[in-house]
Structure 1
Amino acid sequence: MSTDFAEATTETTATPLRDATDTMRAMIYEDYGDAAVLHEAELETPKCLPGQVLIQIAASSVNPIDYRLRRGEMRALMPGGFPRVPGYDVAGWIAAAADDAPFPVGQPVIAFLDSARGGASAEYAVCSIDAVTPLTKPMPIEKAAAIPLAGTTALQSLRDHGKMATGDRVLINGASGGVGMFAIQIAKAYGCIVTAVASRKNQSVCEAWGADQFIDYRTTDYTTTGQQWDLIFDAAGKASYLDSRPVMSEGARFVSTEPDVKGLFMTAVTAPFSKKAKVMLAKPNAEDLRTLVDLYNDGKLKIEIDSTYPLARLGDAHRRVEEGVDHGKVVVKVNQ
């Protein structure tokens, strides 16, 4: 399989696309637990309905939401229903499409799967056409697979919820992680002044991504620096809105990726005030994926890969993310 898998849209013969069979290989879990519950199984290959496409998956990537769901941390929001195929990030080719789909069979694509239960850790997945974007220029499989969820989270957090504007002073907490990697570069692409908060060992990589200032959270609490920011994005889900208020400028926004009860409460109670808090959950959106791909193609987005695993070692990939990745994304190769 070629490392760069996006050929021109008309050159579908350049892809290793094969006819979909009735069954497919997948990694599943049949109950909540640690990474050991993940195991290989043979499942029925999904069929696409009107408004959907079937994607032959080349690679996926692991995000913290994947292991949190596997451990049962969100069972109140998503109870029951096993077996489950984890993962939301997909890079691959259109294997089949309903008549209303705008993509030809063989088209290289990335997708942010719009099923609440995921489905990316398998040979095939179905997805709404509204959550799929074509790749028309060569891109390494690993980097393409790293984009969807983390990139969309960063873009929607900063642009839609954080209302970032050119010249804004933006602080990113957890700047060296998968979402932080995208957030630094997206904020810079939009003309913002970026402060990255991470551990000292990740200073150089944050600066390479474009951070204007770096704060080592182990030695300095950004809430006590006396500086002011127009937007604070807590990509790590560990900062506090109340603690951050003193360093938020008038009209500043605080955006977090931590969907807990406390965060949702803060979103509601701060709505009338000038300094607002917002807890966000990324929504699959093809146009946002296109924006991210365009940033990559324009040289404004670097994507760093921490490690790559074969599908059969998905459990090891989950453990890697759970242990804490210094920087970059963990990718899973599916069809090799």
Structure 2
Amino acid sequence: MRVGSFAGFGPPSVMRVEHRRAPEDPRRDEVLIEVEASSINGTDLGLRRGDLPPATWGRMPFVPGFDVAGRVLSVGPTVTAFSPGDRVAALLPHRGGGLAEQVVVEQHRAARVPDEVSGTDAAAVTLAGLTALQALHHVGSLRARRGPGGEPPRVLVSGAAGGIGSFAVQLAGLEGAEVTGTAGAAKLEWVRGLGAHRVLDRRAPGLAERLAEAGPFALVLDAAGRSRARGLTPLLAPGGIVVSVRPLHPDVLRSLRPRRDFATVRTAPRSADLAHLLRLIATGRLRAPVEHVVALDDVAHAHHLAETEGRGKVVVDLTAAAPPGR
């Protein structure tokens, strides 16, 4: 089978396509998936650049990709949720491997894809959408954060144009929140189109003052993992919380544990959460912000787009051929 991989750290050009042995038959509660699409996330870019410690993932050459959509080819003997032929999406563990024509995952990491949802949309929502949903609800308890008079909570999404941020803007809006999003100047109207009530240029002078005017916020989501707690917590309303997607060193986490105004999210492979997101897309209430769909043969270009544009999602189509001349 074909896979996208890198054998050394560096720019997008280190990505290559190679051939590997197909996975063995699924065991126990595993399912074998013929992959149609896999999206590129910030984790993939950080791994390729060498920004993340090797102990967190695996050996070279490494196959990135943490979310997949496709069709079940076969199932292990104890699988109860899926059958061959089912369309599914799945969140892969830290060892990655989603940029491959076939993958094996445990059934609790997967959910059925409704007929109304394309494979590219299903792949796009899996990791980024789960992270946004779990940050807002499981960690941030958004539904419990209405004002004393029942007024909608104010939510700030920092990094609102990225994959996680673009889902977070929409998901917070579905809960009736008043959403403020920050992004680069060229992306502000795009973020507004996702449903943000207010958009602010993150590089403009006076941003802190404009954020203070827009707040105070019941929940601040650092969707890009760029900000520090001390820079965001002053924007909170009493009892509010900052939730960051940035993985923190255990020592830092221990030092923050007594605080109730800052937390981090660790994306969990909750099948029910993924199924909920896919239903929202199927019914038109949530849009998968897919900006580019690129063939596996052109995976280096896909990484370039994800790294330079920083808007929405780039999805790799493992069924398509690269365009001529690239």
Counterpart of 1:110 in structure 2: which amino acid? A
Secondary structure of the equivalent of 2:303?
A: helix
Do the aligned partners of 1:266 and 1:277 also contact (CA within 8 Å) in 2? no
* Letter paired with 2:85: G
Between the aligned partners of 2:188 and 2:308, the Cα distance in structure 1 is 20
Q: Are positions 1:142 and 2:120 aligned together?
A: yes
Whether 1:321 and 2:300 are equivalent positions in the alignment is no
Per-residue deviation at 1:205?
2.1
Is 1:43 matched with 2:20? yes
Tell me the equivalent position of 1:246: 234
Q: What is the aligned partner in structure 2 of residue 272 from structure 1?
A: 258
Moved more, 65-74 or 213-222: 213-222
In 1, Cα distance between equivalents of 2:246 and 2:12 = 22
Q: Which moved more, 1:198-207 or 1:238-247?
A: 198-207
| 1:332 has 2:316 as partner | yes
Q: In structure 2, which of residues 165, 168, 174 is the aligned counterpart of residue 180 of structure 1? A: 165
Cα contact 1:57–1:90 (8 A) shared by 2: yes
1:73-93, Cα deviation, whole Å (9 max, x unpaired): 222432652232110111100
Q: For residues 5-51 of structure 1, what are the alpha-carbon distances to aligned partners after superposition, in whole Å with 9 as ceiling and x for unaligned? A: xxxxxxxxxxxxxxxxxxx1112222333323222222111122211
SS in 2 for 1:56: strand
Q: Which residues of 2 match residues 281-300 of structure 1 at below 5 A?
A: 281-300=266-285
Asked whether 1:228 is paired with 2:247, we answer: no
3-state secondary structure, aligned to 1:278: strand
Q: Does 1:112 align with 2:96?
A: no
TM-score between both structures, scaled by the size of structure 1? 0.86
CA offset digits 1:41-62 (Å, max 9, x no partner): 2211112221110100111111
Q: What residue number does 2:324 align with? A: none
Gap change, CA 1:145 and 1:217, over 3 Å in 2: same
Cα contact 1:223–1:246 (8 A) shared by 2: no
Matches within 5 A, 1:1-336: 24-47=1-24, 48-78=26-56, 80-101=58-79, 102-114=81-93, 116-165=94-143, 166=146, 167-219=152-204, 221-225=206-210, 226=212, 227-261=215-249, 267-274=253-260, 276-325=261-310, 327-336=311-320
Partner Cα distance (1:184, 1:69) in 2: 26
Residues 89 and 120 in structure 1, CA contact (< 8 A), matched pair in contact too: yes
Assess if the C-alpha contact under 8 Å between 1:223 and 1:244 holds in 2.
no
Q: Distance in 2 between matches of 1:51 and 1:221?
A: 54
- Structure 2: stretches of 5+ with no match in the other structure: 147-151, 321-326
- Aligned twin of 1:13: none
The Cα shift of 1:286 comes to 1.0
- How far is 1:220 from its partner? 5.0
Other structure's SS at 1:94 match: strand
SS of the aligned residue for 2:307 comes to helix
Distance 1:308 1:51, change over 3 A: same
- 126-135 or 238-247, which deviates more: 238-247
Identity %: 31
Q: Give 1:273 shift.
A: 3.5
- Structure 1 Cα separation of the partners of residues 299 and 133 of structure 2: 27
Q: Note closer, same or farther for the CA distance 1:265–1:244 as it changes in structure 2 (3 Å cut).
A: farther
CA–CA separation in structure 1 for the residues paired with 2:53 and 2:233: 32
Q: 1:163 to 1:77 in 2, by over 3 A?
A: farther
Report the 3-state secondary structure (helix = DSSP H, G, I; strand = E; otherwise coil) of the residue aligned with 2:56: coil
Q: What's the RMSD between the two structures over aligned residues?
A: 1.8
SS in 2 for 1:77: helix
* 1:64 CA drift (Å): 1.2
Question: Cα–Cα, structure 1 residues 219 and 71, in superposed 2: closer, same or farther, change >3 Å?
Answer: closer
In the aligned structure 2, how far is the partner of 1:163 from the partner of 1:230? 10
Q: How many residues align?
A: 308
Gaps of 5+ in 1: 1-23
Give the letter aligned to residue 27 of structure 1: G
Structure 1: distance between partners of 2:221 and 2:162: 13
Distance in 2 between residues matched to 1:129 and 1:295, nearest whole Å: 21
Deviations 1:167-206 (A, max 9, x none): 2211000101111110011111122221111123322222
- Mapped contact 1:133–1:289 kept (Cα < 8 A): yes
Q: Distance in 2 between matches of 1:254 and 1:29?
A: 35
Structure 2 length-normalised TM: 0.89
